[in-house]
């Protein structure tokens, strides 16, 4: 079929989302609607996502999201060609809610069901937004993930390396918590860092002595805690400037480590594919302006094109799931009613 229209569902973490994506022939794909219900307030009192609360909220919100996404696209369920759903990896209760909802819709309409890997959704986003050709390099940086991938096809990924402990977003969130800044930590730390001196505190640059593309961020949190405690012991508290300097030092360390590891990942990628030269980024941390600027610089050093999808499609959303489902469906991929939710599912 020339034109494909898919409904996508996403519920693997703390966002409930539904979206409609269409692609006609070789034309670029279009996001006809994308609805996201965040759960930040539900979890804010607990200092992190509570899986049971998330699962319940997903179950309650999915129907509304689907209705709103169809209405915003001015389409009906019968106008869809298939239903795509995140089948993992993620918090299992939420993933089950999404898979059950998608199965119900598929059973009621007879539409094909397409299970999608959440990470593939992020990794294929530059194709949805910028029609980037395969193979391209992807830095996936979010609250739960951090990895370098050569994306060769809708179902073909080569992992060059990734974090051996925390994801960068998690490190930003913990930093915010340690400094009494609001969650999610990324935006608050970035804001503080704007008025800080990144050189005042000497943060480590973990794993730069190793030649591979693996990263580590948990040491930065430990270093931050030590520096914070030292300042507090000396002065009895933290000033606004201390906080800003700590944030700036932390953020610079994350950006430096990512810069050097990205250079290495690009070297591997260019060996494999010297012609396409496209470096992309996705995940919530891609919102960070210092990290974006750094990636742009690193790409210009080697004359590679840098593609960063708009923010709303970098963070968790269902348009990326609908699109990854569309690519999978187009190449013959489909699931039956035995589709299962997978808490772990490496690419
Ligand atoms: O992709 P995402 O919405 O959810 C998943 O983790 O899958 O990413 C959320 C993460 C959070 O840890 C948040 O603190 C981080 O992305 N983040 C940022 C920024 N905006 C969001 N980290 C650094 N700088 C930002 N401006
Ligand atoms: Zn995600």
Per-residue pLDDT of 2-41, as tens digits, reads 899 999 999 998 899 999 999 998 889 999 999 999 877 7
Residue 49: phi and psi, rounded to 5, are: -75, 125
Indicate which residue's Cα is closest to atom 14 of ligand 1.
186
How confident is the model at residue 158, as a pLDDT? 97
Model confidence at 54: pLDDT above 90: no
How far, in Å, from the CA of 172 to the mean position of ligand 1? Answer: 8
Q: What is the pLDDT of residue 114?
A: 98
Give the residue whose CA is nearest to atom 10 of ligand 1: 143
The CATH class that applies to domain 136-312 reads alpha beta
| pLDDT attached to residue 1 | 66
3-state helix, strand, coil in the chain (%, to 5): 50, 20, 30
- Mean pLDDT computed over every residue of the chain: 95
Q: Where does 3-130+316-330 sit in CATH, by number? A: 3.30.420.40
**Phi-psi region at 343: left, alpha or beta (left = phi > 0; alpha = psi -120 to 50):** alpha
- What pLDDT shows up at residue 14? 85
**pLDDT (average), residues 195-214:** 95
Tell me whether domains 3-130+316-330 and 136-312 share a fold. yes
Q: What is the pLDDT of residue 2?
A: 87
What ipTM was assigned to the predicted interfaces of this complex?
Answer: 0.98
Ligand 1 atom having least distance to the Cα of 183: 14
Question: Per-residue confidence at 145, pLDDT binned at 50, 70, 90?
Answer: very high
The pTM (predicted TM-score) of the whole model is 0.94
Taking the CA of 166 as reference, the closest ligand is 1
336 is in an annotated binding site: no
Assess contact for 175 and 188: CB atoms under 8 A: no
Q: What are the structural domain ranges in the chain? A: 3-130+316-330, 136-312
**Complete DSSP assignment for 38-77:** E-HHHHHTTTS--HHHHHHHHHHHHHHHHHHHHHHHT--G
| Percent of the chain predicted with pLDDT > 90 | 89
pLDDT bin (cut points 50, 70, 90) of residue 276 is very high
Kindly tell me if the per-residue pLDDT of 290 is higher than 70: yes
pLDDT tens digits, 114-125: 999 999 999 999
Q: Residue 274: how many CA atoms within 13 Å on its side-chain side?
A: 1
CB 164 within 8 A of CB 215: yes
């Amino acid at each position: 079929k020339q034109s494909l229209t898919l409904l996508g569902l996403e519920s693997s973490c703390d966002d409930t989302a539904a979206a409609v994506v269409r692609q006609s022939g070789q034309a670029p794909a279009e996001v006809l609607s994308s609805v996201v219900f965040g759960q930040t307030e539900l979890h804010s009192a607990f200092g992190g996502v509570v899986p049971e609360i998330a699962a319940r909220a997903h179950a309650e919100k999915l129907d509304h999201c689907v209705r709103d996404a169809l209405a915003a696209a001015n389409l009906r369920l019968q106008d869809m060609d298939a239903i795509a759903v995140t089948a993992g990896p993620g918090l299992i209760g939420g993933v089950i809610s999404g898979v059950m909802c998608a199965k119900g819709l598929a059973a009621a309409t007879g539409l094909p069901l397409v299970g999608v890997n959440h990470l593939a959704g992020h990794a294929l986003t530059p194709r949805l937004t910028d029609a980037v050709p395969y193979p391209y390099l992807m830095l996936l940086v979010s609250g739960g993930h951090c990895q370098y991938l050569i994306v060769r096809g809708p179902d073909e990924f080569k992992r060059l390396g990734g974090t051996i402990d925390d994801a960068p977003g998690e490190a930003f969130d913990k930093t915010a918590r340690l400094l009494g800044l609001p969650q999610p930590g990324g935006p608050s730390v970035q804001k503080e860092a704007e008025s800080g001196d990144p050189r005042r505190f000497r943060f480590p640059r973990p794993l730069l002595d190793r030649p591979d593309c693996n990263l580590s961020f948990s040491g930065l949190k430990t270093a931050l805690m030590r520096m914070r405690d030292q300042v507090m012991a000396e002065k009895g508290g933290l000033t606004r400037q201390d906080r800003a300097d700590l944030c700036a030092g932390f953020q610079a360390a994350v950006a430096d480590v990512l810069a050097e590891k990205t250079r290495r990942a690009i070297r591997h990628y260019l060996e494999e594919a010297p012609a396409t030269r496209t470096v992309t980024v996705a995940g919530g941390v891609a919102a960070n302006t210092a990290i974006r600027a750094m990636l742009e610089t690193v790409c210009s050093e080697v004359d590679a094109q840098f593609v960063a999808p708009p923010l709303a499609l970098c963070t968790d959303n269902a348009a990326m799931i609908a699109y990854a489902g569309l690519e999978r469906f187009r190449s013959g991929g489909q699931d039956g009613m035995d589709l299962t939710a997978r808490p772990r599912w490496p690419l």
